[in-house]
Amino acid sequence: MKNKEITAPFGLHWFRRDLRLRGNPGLCWNLEKTRGRVLGIFFFDGSFLARPDFSANRFAFFMASLKRLQEELRERGGDLLVLDGGPEAGFQKLFELLSQRGHPKPATLSFNRDYEPFARARDGAIENFILPLGIELHTERDHLLVEPDEISKDGKPGSFYQVYSPFARRWFEKLLEPEVQNRIRLADKKPVDPCLTWAEPLGHEAQRLDQLESYIAENSKAVTIPIPPAGPAAARAALKRFQNKIDDYARDRDYPAQGGGSGLSIYFKNGSLTIAQAIAELELGREKFATKDGRSTFLRELCWREFYYHILFHCPWVEKQSFVAKYRNIQWENSKKHFELWKNGQTGYPVVDAAMRQLKQTGLMHNRARMIVASFLTKHLLIDWRWGDRYFMKMLLDGDMAANNGGWQWAASTGCDPQPYFRVFNPTLQGEKFDADGEYIRRYVPELRALSTKSIHNPSSIERAAAGYPEPIVEHAAARLRAIRRYQ
């Protein structure tokens, strides 16, 4: 039996990494277009589980974010269906079900753009599948404030920046443009209240299609860390906490024990919050590139994120190989034994070990510590940056291809605008400088807790033996020289 819900036009919004309602541009467009008759969908692709960068912990956080989204939609009378199979199979299944029940196809489909190579190929295929069906397809920007092709070198279409500073200068100028200012202003625009009653006629069948609970239950067995609070409310709470600290950000951000960062990367990753929303809430956007205060420094960090997306978009091959061609044939040592010791925080360099253990215990690592351990792996141990990149993606809750790849290639000196190859961090000095009183080391390397601040960064052999802590697996000066020679 048909009723008015069945025949009135409705839309689908395909959620991917935009897991929120508030200020969601694709969803807002669709809600306006269909007068609030939008069903949220998410396609779970089983092949994702087999990807080398799959992380059960990050997946658990993602699923928790998805769950919040589903709850939020249900509270408003709408719904989110989490469908099995990739998007093409999922769309087909949904359309078949609609047709069996006498519903028309959806009038609209919206989604927000993604820039990773895999996602771009997938979205292209879906466009080709959807458009011939007469469904109006609409995509929006969401994940980035300035999209990768909106900044080009010397204004030449298709050209791109390979060096951060000129890119960032341009990005800061771009933020002042009225269109971008307007976008920041609208970033928090609430979607019209959804009244998604059309999902009702799908009845129990829709609920049976929904796989979210079973994914959560199945994956939870593999989770190894406490999963932080997920979803937009948790993201807003983190943002509020950071609001009180932003003026000290330039000073505090480099010290792993201080927690001077915003803690927002996990929320940006899934779109529980966007950088446009953070900029709006923190009342940023008119700062100057070169100013050294907390607010400009924070904006420059957000800009690193957009820079690495700019690079990944224009050079998708960086996912698999070095940006700089001459470093594609570095003769890596690739010692499996050293790699295991590094992963397990047993290198004998306290700050490196603290960082690696933080990663294992929390799924996160402070930015300074990421730089130290990535430099140590690639330079001291001469292990291929791709091994480290992959391990980080397995472990990090905020694991994000563009930023992770950019960070690794920066540290390994193989990327665009990298750390010069001859700059090899001395891990002991890095510890002394950025963890002066050893608080970070004491937190994650408990066997060294009782050591004095003077010796904690480089314990004597006697202290190591007494604490059950290993000798350094490589000697710094010799490893440094070996790395420089190898790169030369």
Ligand X SMILES: Cc1cc2nc3c(=O)[nH]c(=O)nc-3n(C[C@H](O)[C@H](O)[C@H](O)COP(=O)(O)OP(=O)(O)OC[C@H]3O[C@@H](n4cnc5c(N)ncnc54)[C@H](O)[C@@H]3O)c2cc1C
57 noted as active-site residue:
no
Helix, strand, coil % in the chain, rounded to nearest 5: 55, 5, 40
Residue 50 neighbours by CB under 8 Å, 6+ apart? none
Shortest spacing between CB 149 and ligand X, in angstroms: 19
22 binds ligand X (CB under 6 A): no
Catalytic residue at 317? no
Catalytic residue among 88, 301, 439, 463: 301
The site map against ligand X for 266-305 (x = CB under 6 A) is --x--------------------------------xx-xx
* Nearest-approach distance from CB 133 to ligand X, in angstroms: 36
Q: How far is the CB of 200 from ligand X (least distance, A)?
A: 39
Is residue 180 within 8 A of residue 173, CB to CB? The reply is no
Contact pick of 403, 456, 479, 483 for ligand X (by CB under 6 A): 403
Distance CA 110, CA 477 (A): 56
Is 41 in a helix, a strand, or coil?
strand
- What letter does residue 459 receive in the DSSP assignment? -
Q: Which is nearer to ligand X, 270 or 404 (CB)?
A: 404
| E-strand stretches of 119-266 | 136-140
108 binds ligand X (CB under 6 A): no
Smallest separation (angstroms) from ligand X to the CB of 255: 11
From 28, 64, 396, 456, residue interacting with ligand X (rule: CB under 6 A): 396
Binding ligand X (rule: CB under 6 A), the pick from 78, 406, 431, 438 is 406
* 367 given a catalytic annotation: yes
**Interface with ligand X, residue 404, by CB under 6 A:** yes
CA 271, CA 187: separation in Å to the nearest integer? 12
DSSP string, 166-207: HHHHHHHHHHTSHHHHHHHHHTTPPPPPP--GGGGGGHHHHH
Site for ligand X in 119-178 (CB under 6 A): none
String of contacts with ligand X for each residue 407-436, x by CB under 6 A: xx--x-------------------------
Closest approach of ligand X to the CB of residue 361, in Å: 16
Q: How far is the CB of 308 from ligand X (least distance, A)?
A: 5
Q: Which stretch binds ligand X (CB under 6 A): 51-59, 211-219, 224-232, 368-376?
A: 368-376
Nearer to ligand X, 73 or 402 (CB): 402
220 vs 56: CA distance, rounded Å = 8
Angle subtended by helix axes 164-175 and 178-186, to nearest 10: 70
Q: Give the type of residue at 427.
A: P
Q: Is 171 a catalytic residue?
A: no
Q: Does 202 participate in binding ligand X (rule CB under 6 A)?
A: no
385 binds ligand X per the rule CB under 6 A: no
Region class of 45: left (phi > 0), else alpha (psi between -120 and 50), else beta: beta
- Secondary structure letter of residue 377 according to DSSP: I
Q: Which of residues 241-260 bind ligand X (CB under 6 A)?
A: 253
Q: What count of other Cβ atoms lies within 10 Å of the Cβ of residue 105?
A: 17
Q: Please, which residue, 14 or 171, has the CB nearer to ligand X? A: 171
Q: How far is the CB of 221 from ligand X (least distance, A)?
A: 24
Return the H-helix or E-strand segment holding 65.
helix 56-75
CA–CA dist 34, 231 (Å, integer): 26
Near ligand X by CB under 6 A: residue from 28, 80, 264, 448: 264
Closest CA to 292 of 240, 247, 352, 238: 247
Catalytic residue flag (residue 219): no
Q: Which two tokens stand for residue 226?
A: 């406490």
Instruction: Give the number of other Cβ atoms within 10 Å of residue 139's Cβ.
Output: 17
Respond yes or no: is residue 14 known to be catalytic.
Answer: no
Of residues 322 and 404, the one with the C-beta less far from ligand X? 404
Binding flag, residue 392, ligand X (CB under 6 A): yes
Nearest to 370 by CA among 403, 417, 328: 403
Q: Does 362 bind ligand X (CB under 6 A)?
A: no
Of residues 103, 357, 370, 476, which one binds ligand X by CB under 6 A? Answer: 370
Per-residue x/- track, 203-242, ligand X (CB under 6 A): ----------------------------------------
Residue type (1 letter), 339: F
Q: Judged by CB under 6 A, which stretch of 18-26, 67-75, 136-144, 402-410 contacts ligand X?
A: 402-410
d(Cα 28, Cα 43) in Å, to the nearest integer? 20
For the record, the structure tokens of 122 come out as 């997938």
Q: Which residues bind ligand X (CB under 6 A)?
A: 253, 261-265, 268, 301-302, 304-305, 308, 367, 370-371, 374, 392, 396, 398-400, 403-404, 406-408, 411
User: Annotated catalytic sites, by residue?
Assistant: 301, 304, 332, 367, 385, 408
